[in-house]
């Protein structure tokens, strides 16, 4: 089938934010490539998509001005397969690697999360994902109850299970993400509770993870606070440095918050439930 290609040029950090937001808004895939000092972003969507509405929705979610863009019609091609060829093993730390199925783990002694790039967000190649994984590895305790809110590919939930969590729940509003998470959990040999947010049984968690975008994170404060036990830990990502203070402030009602590690213009916000 033909595709609608939506192209724009942005500064690198906003381009990353828009790439995630476009996937969340309904784009089928997004590619980023250097364009001088800027980044060219090309999103593929169904040929009958409303490009202006898609871009506007993504900009709102990313808390960015609506950028200028151009469109073009592309004939059918296996874009997912083409993008997969770009991915190799990703070293998160000495202890943790993300490894596509067509590679062997580079370090047999390390923990390997087997994950193939696909349409659902979260492959480990993005700085915001690595920030959560690195913090998760340092702070998780054996037997912890962990909630991954907005699980995408399931990468954070699967890593938590492999790092010793006792019970891991993964929720997302996108049924495709839930299917992908379920399949990735099977491939990795871990048990997850996968559900839509409203279908998750009552209860709270020792650690809550959310790698989404600044706007949705701010809106989710009450829900994430209700799911975190007193003294429990919160790790928030998908946040640009310019947005970190606003996100941290939004969680002060229920959490002691701090701005944590940063990488490539992205920041981790950490919290401890009061």
Q: Say what the pLDDT of residue 119 is.
A: 42
Give the right CATH number for 3-78 from 1.10.10.10, 3.10.20.440, 3.30.70.980, 3.40.50.80.
Answer: 3.30.70.980
Q: What percent of the chain has pLDDT over 90?
A: 69
Q: Of residues 81 and 145, which shows the higher confidence score?
A: 145
From the list 23, 227, 15, the residue with the least C-alpha distance to 123 is: 23
Maximum average pLDDT range among 85-89, 150-154, 192-196: 192-196
- In this prediction, residue 77 has a pLDDT band, given cuts at 50, 70 and 90, of low
Q: What percent of the chain has pLDDT over 70?
A: 92
Q: Of residues 32 and 226, which shows the higher confidence score?
A: 226
Q: Say what the pLDDT of residue 260 is.
A: 97
Q: Facing residues of 258 across strands?
A: 270
Q: Is the pTM of this model over 0.95?
A: no
- The residues, any chain, with a CB within 8 Å of residue 31's CB and separated by 6 or more, are 41, 42, 43, 83
Q: Say what the pLDDT of residue 120 is.
A: 41
Find out if CATH 3.30.200.20 is the number for domain 122-273.
no
Q: Say what the pLDDT of residue 115 is.
A: 87
How many whole angstroms from its chain centre is CA 126? 8
Q: Of residues 30 and 111, which shows the higher confidence score?
A: 111
| CATH 3.30.70.980 domain residues, the chain | 3-78
Q: What is the DSSP letter of 229?
A: E
Neighbours of 33 (CB within 10 A): 9
Q: Whats the size of the chain, residue-wise? A: 274
Q: Does pLDDT of 35 surpass 60?
A: yes
| CATH 3.40.50.150 domain residues, the chain | 122-273
- In this prediction, residue 66 has a pLDDT band, given cuts at 50, 70 and 90, of very high
Q: Say what the pLDDT of residue 76 is.
A: 61
**pLDDT tens-place string over residues 262-274:** 998 899 999 999 9
**pLDDT tens-place string over residues 128-143:** 899 999 999 999 999 9
Distance from C-alpha of 63 to C-alpha of 33, rounded to nearest angstrom: 22
Query: Backbone dihedral region of 264: left (phi > 0), alpha (psi from -120 to 50 degrees) or beta?
Result: left
């Amino acid at each position: 089938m033909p595709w609608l290609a939506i192209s724009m040029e942005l500064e690198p950090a906003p381009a990353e934010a828009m790439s995630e937001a476009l996937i969340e808004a309904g784009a089928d895939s997004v590619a980023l490539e250097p364009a001088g000092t800027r980044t060219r972003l090309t999103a593929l969507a169904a040929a009958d998509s409303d490009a202006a509405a898609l871009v506007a929705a993504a900009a709102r979610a990313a808390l960015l001005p609506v950028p200028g863009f151009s469109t073009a019609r592309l004939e059918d091609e296996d874009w997912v397969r083409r993008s997969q060829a770009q991915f190799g093993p990703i070293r998160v730390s000495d202890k943790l690697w993300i490894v596509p199925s067509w590679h062997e783990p580079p370090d047999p002694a390390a923990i390997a999360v087997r994950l193939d790039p696909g349409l659902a967000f979260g492959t480990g190649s993005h700085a915001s994902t690595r920030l959560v994984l690195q913090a998760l590895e340092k702070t998780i305790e054996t037997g912890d109850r962990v909630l991954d809110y907005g699980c995408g590919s399931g990468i954070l939930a699967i890593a938590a299970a492999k790092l010793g969590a006792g019970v891991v729940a993964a929720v997302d509003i996108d049924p495709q993400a839930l299917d992908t998470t379920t399949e990735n959990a099977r491939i990795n040999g871990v048990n997850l509770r996968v559900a839509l947010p409203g279908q998750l049984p009552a209860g709270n968690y020792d650690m809550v993870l959310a790698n989404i975008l600044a706007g949705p994170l701010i809106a989710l404060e009450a829900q994430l606070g209700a799911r975190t036990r007193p003294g429990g830990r919160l790790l928030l990502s998908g946040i640009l440095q310019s947005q970190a203070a606003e996100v941290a402030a939004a969680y002060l009602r229920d959490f002691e918050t701090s701005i944590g590690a940063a990488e490539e213009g992205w920041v981790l916000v950490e919290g401890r439930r009061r």
